[in-house]
Structure 1
Amino acid sequence: MPFKPVVALVGRPNVGKSTLFNRLTRSRAALVADFSGLTRDRHYGEGRVGDYPFIAIDTGGFEPVAKDGILLEMARQTKQAIAESDVVIFLVDGRAGVNAHDHEIAALLRRSGQRRIILAVNKAEGMGMGATADFHELGLGQPRPISAAHGDGIVDLIELALRDLVEPEPEPAETDEFGDPDDADGESDTPPEGKFRALPADHRIKLAIVGRPNVGKSTLINTLLGEERVIAFDMPGTTRDAIEIEFERDGKRYTLIDTAGLRKRGKVFEAVEKFSVIKTLQAIEACNVVLLMLDAQTEISEQDAHIAGFVLETGRALVVAINKWDGLDADQRERIQREFERKLRFLSFARMHTISALKGAGVKALLKSVNAAHAAAFAKLSTPRLTRELQAAVEQQPPPRKGIFRPKMRYAHQGGQNPPLVIVHGNALDAVPDSYRRYLETRFRNAFDLGGTPLRIEFKSSHNPYAQDKDK
């Protein structure tokens, strides 16, 4: 893999770092609002200018002299981003002018020993050269006027940042529609393998960690990574964005997604929190496996059931983790297990684990269940075996009659993955009740070991070619 320089975006709150990050990565990965302190964790993304790729790091508003609280944790995240970077772009606000925070950050950057620090004056559209005049006093060289919102000066800024750091990427070889190198005659020697192809060897399991606020999602990610990668703070709503982190363990590659806590709709007041909820729901839809975290020290709430219901609707594979288990006595543990079976019984297909994210207890077994749920979600189901299992199920318990007719099931085949979809063909299948659909789901799940993933069954009735003649 070619070397990609790392560009860290640093500055005080509300100077436009996330706006610039989204423009560099050509995405909407970072939340943006006219609200200071919105970004808190480091956020990584891949950018490109012409043939030059790079990695950008978005950081929270930097308070170098913060002594405690969330501001101190945000400062630690920013300092770590500076340490990891090859180039630092120090962003300042051209309309607000220089202030004491800018001087503190400039002094820290000079002491950091970075090879290159570039001073970018944002929000300089329409201001001419006067936008940069005051910023010479920071002692970081020539200030560069830009507009992250409008794109003015961005290309020149990044080309300056990447100068002498990267080589242009070689052009990739032409490939056919299956991603295989073309032969001289334009045809591949290997025919396509069918509708459901094996996952590539470098496939990453996208794992979204969701739950109510303050259940320990960020703590679990830090425990898995063995470092303070995201801010874990004893305050609900610490995480606001959906942070993606690449991770590898025991030969398996993952993309961990730390999400904002989901509260009841009636308790979501701030516009920023509404955007956080949207990002969390989008993360659930985009991932392969969802890890639903519950708090053992509070009762399982209606909101937990709502979150689980949304995961079920999207069809994502699911693993449930009850966190803070180490702080309970035997009676409390028994009560939580009864609550889980009563309030979340519709998640019977998912594996449930009791863990302590802070101490790392139960985490290894948790990842094993994540791997198993992912494998089940992308399982290939043989048509002959599905049909045999369908026939055995019908022989043991035929579908109930509707009037004088009984639905007749002929064969079944796989219609999709993540979640697995089984399509059953036959006659008069519109009359099959939901109870019989659940019966077939259980038979197929047990036969193919599909624990950890929802299973969908679709009935398709054959068309009667003589129906029109009969109507006449």
Structure 2
Amino acid sequence: MLPIIALLGRPNVGKSSLFNRLVRANKSITHDMPGVTRDRIYGEVTEDEVRFAVIDTGGMLPDADERDGGGMDKSVFDQAVEALSEADVALFVVDGRDGMTGLDQAVSEKIRASGKPVLLIVNKVDGPELEAKATAEFHALGFEMASVSAAHGYGLADLRLRIAALARPFVQPEPADGPELGLKLCMLGRPNAGKSSLVNALVGEARQIVSDIAGTTRDSVDIGFEKAGRRYTFVDTAGVRRRSVITDELEQLSVYRALSSSRRADVTILVLDAFQGLSHQDKRLIAYLVDQRTPFMVAVNKMDLVPKAHVEEVRAGYAEALRICPHVPVLYISALTGAGTQKILPLAEDIRRECVIRIGTGRLNRAMAEATTKHQPPVIKRRRAKFYYLTQADEDPPMFVFFVNDDELVTPAYAKYLEGQLRKLLGIRMAPLATVFRASHEKKEAERPLSNRAPRLGKDRRDMETPQGGKGQGKGAGKAPATGKGPSAGKNSPSAKAAPAGKGASAGGKATAGTKRAAGSKTAQARKKG
């Protein structure tokens, strides 16, 4: 268990900016508008060989119960109090530009009552020349003090060392095999689908603020817990609405964080609202996850609100929408009553196990042979795809490469058939699976069109061109003979002997088949005349 450091303070003093600086990542959304952070956001820091966890919290309003009658402000305050009770060290953040306010004093009393070690951090101090003025009023609180600027980085190096020194006494020895990271699960869905309620139901406590108001969760929140000796991390995300209806910059950032979290998680749980029915946005999210090859399951929530007469109709609607990804498992649950929620974690474990599977080449080739023998590939233009071997190119999720004589001979329908056979023969039922077809050798260059070929030689030797004269050839080389009786050699050539006139002899003194046929035809004509 890591030492836990909690960032606490009234709204808009820069806690989230300081949190991002400490964890060296933009993990918490920051905005000039007060009250952006609502839930507890966790991060890890290693400084001076000390590893510790940091919690960002929403702005504390001790009089929230009186302000909104137990509404959102009260929920945010309760989350901050939970973080304080969980923490080993409290970092009390105040605004050096505003000076001490009555709200700062009220928060300090709440923190002091916890009995935890406290470090007072005066934020928005942009340089050493401003320290004296910015910190003057806060000495009255009696806490150890540090001056920083989360926006510009002033004083942060010293602050990190001081926090590490405060955390060191709470360090516990880690197991010999190192810390278990556990399974990371992302909750994704439209606003108000019940994602936070489902997280609370699985964790067993109110870790996330839940409300009937859509958009209660604004940031992606990591929630770690253990169950049956296994560690899990839930990432609760903001609801994802259609891009066309998002006009707020804060919501745009929240949606980006939500989709990004789904890509980083081991398994994504797409939470849908059974009572509201399947929407176009739900279908877009399904298509997005399929396109990204994201391992995911579908949890159809709020089934307790669906009348029994319409249950089968609801199931049929979701089955139709998921035809594009028949491998994705679907659970029908109720986060409120807990019905069906006990199946989620075991199912996530099974999906993850399939994603990291590694299969030997021998088993793959046996599966390929069985699949292609059972149903041969179709004939395309009098040719059929011939499969040579199969290999696994990647895992998490798995990708398989078929080597064939010509990848263009594999039709989409046959590729779909092979994917289904691989799932069946290799036991990959729920993980995304990719198949690639690759030609085992370079394709031969297509034959050139007839018009681009070199001219063919004629049947008669007279159509042939004489090669250009070279060494040892006579003066007449390369010139067509004036007599029209075929090419002749130069005067100096040993074979340059003239054929007797009328006999059709060619160079070299041998009669050709053409001259013999000509002589025969003349003899026949003479006989007719006679």
Q: Does TM-score exceed 0.5, indicating one fold?
A: yes
Give the residue type in structure 2 aligned to 1:80. E
Q: Does 1:217 align with 2:195?
A: yes
Bigger drift between 93-102 and 236-245 goes to 93-102
- Does the aligned pair in 1 maintain the 2:89–2:167 contact within 8 Å? no
**Partners of 1:18 and 1:334 in 2: how far apart?**
46
Q: Could you tell me which residue of structure 1 aligns to residue 124 of structure 2?
A: 123
Match of 1:107 in 2: 109
Is the Cα contact below 8 Å between 1:351 and 1:451 reproduced in 2?
Answer: no
- Residue number among 10, 17, 29 corresponding to 2:27 in the alignment: 29
Number of aligned residues: 440
Match of 1:19 in 2: 17
1:106-131 alpha-carbon deviations (Å, 9 max, x no partner)? 121222222x2222111111434111
2:206 to 204, 228, 234: 228
1:206–1:470 CA distance, 2 compared to 1 (3 A): same
**Cross-structure match for 2:77:** 75
Structure 1: distance between partners of 2:345 and 2:171: 36
- How far residue 396 of structure 1 moved from its aligned partner, in angstroms, is 2.3
Whether the aligned pair in 2 keeps the contact of 1:52 and 1:167 (CA below 8 Å) is no
Name the residue aligned to 1:352: 330
Please state how far the C-alpha of 1:55 moved relative to its aligned partner.
Answer: 1.5
Q: Which residue of 2 aligns with 1:272?
A: 250
**1:167: Cα distance to partner?**
6.2
The residue number in structure 2 matching 1:132 is 135
1:164–1:93 CA distance, 2 compared to 1 (3 A): closer
- Provide TM-score, normalisation by structure 2: 0.78
8 Å contact kept, 1:316–1:418: no
> What secondary structure does 1:166 align onto?
helix
* 1:58-457 alignment runs, 5 A limit: 58-67=56-65, 68-114=70-116, 116-126=117-127, 127-137=130-140, 139-141=141-143, 143-163=145-165, 165-166=167-168, 202=180, 204-457=182-435
Q: CA RMSD in A?
A: 2.4
Return the alpha-carbon distance in structure 1 between the equivalents of residues 88 and 238 of structure 2. Answer: 30
Which range moves more in the overlay, 38-47 or 364-373? 364-373
Name the SS for the 1:56 alignment partner.
Answer: strand
The alignment partner of 2:383 has SS state of coil
Separation in 1 of the partners of 2:170 and 2:120? Answer: 25
Greater displacement, 77-86 / 403-412: 403-412
For the 8 Å contact 1:41–1:60, the answer to whether it is kept is yes
The 8 Å contact of residues 49 and 155 in structure 1, kept in 2 or not, is answered as no
The separation in 2 between residues aligned to 1:464 and 1:150, in whole angstroms, is: 57
Q: Contact conserved, 2:5 with 2:54, CA < 8 A, in 1? A: yes
Alpha-carbon deviation of 1:91?
0.7
SS at match of 1:388: helix
CA shift at 1:211, angstroms?
0.7
1:132 counterpart SS class:
helix
Moved more, 238-247 or 298-307: 238-247
Check 1:147–1:227 CA distance in 2 against 1; reply closer, same or farther (3 A cut): same
Deviation at 1:142, TM superposition (A): 5.1
Helix, strand or coil for the counterpart of 1:343?
Answer: helix
Aligned residue for 1:131, secondary structure, equals helix
Report the Cα distance in structure 1 between the residues aligned to 2:349 and 2:299, rounded to whole angstroms. 15
Higher relative contact order (CA 8 A, sep 6+): 1
Q: Whole-Å Cα distance in 1 between the matches of residues 224 and 142 of structure 2?
A: 33
Change in 2 beyond 3 A, CA 1:169/1:119: closer
Shifted more, 217-226 versus 43-52: the winner is 43-52
Distance 2:89 2:158 in 1: 15
The whole-number CA distance in structure 2 between the counterparts of 1:227 and 1:412 is 48
CA displacement at 1:62 relative to structure 2:
1.0
The answer (yes or no) to whether the contact 2:402–2:437 under 8 Å persists in 1 is yes
The answer on whether the counterparts of 1:408 and 1:429 sit within 8 Å (CA) in structure 2 is no
Gaps of 5+ in 1: 173-179, 181-199
CA distance in 1, matches of 2:108, 2:24: 28
**Residues 211 and 261, structure 1, Cα contact 8 Å, conserved in 2:** yes
Match of 2:239, SS state, is coil
Is residue 22–residue 29 contact of structure 1 (8 Å, CA) maintained in 2?
yes
Q: Which structure has the larger Rg over C-alpha atoms?
A: 2
1:270–1:407: structure 2 CA closer, same or farther, 3 Å change rule? Answer: same
Deviation of the 1:213 alpha carbon? 0.8
Tell me the CA shift for residue 261 of structure 1: 0.9
Q: Secondary structure at the match of 2:252?
A: helix
- Distance in 2 (CA, whole Å) between partners of 1:342 and 1:267 is 26
The Cα shift of 1:35 comes to 2.0
Give the aligned partner of residue 196 of structure 1: none
Q: 1:463 aligns with which of 441, 450, 461?
A: 441
- Given that 2:45 and 2:54 are in contact with CA atoms closer than 8 Å, whether structure 1 keeps it comes out as yes
Provide the rounded CA distance (Å) in 1 between the counterparts of 2:28 and 2:63: 25
Structure 2 unaligned regions, length at least 5? 454-530
2: CA distance, partners of 1:165 / 1:426: 60
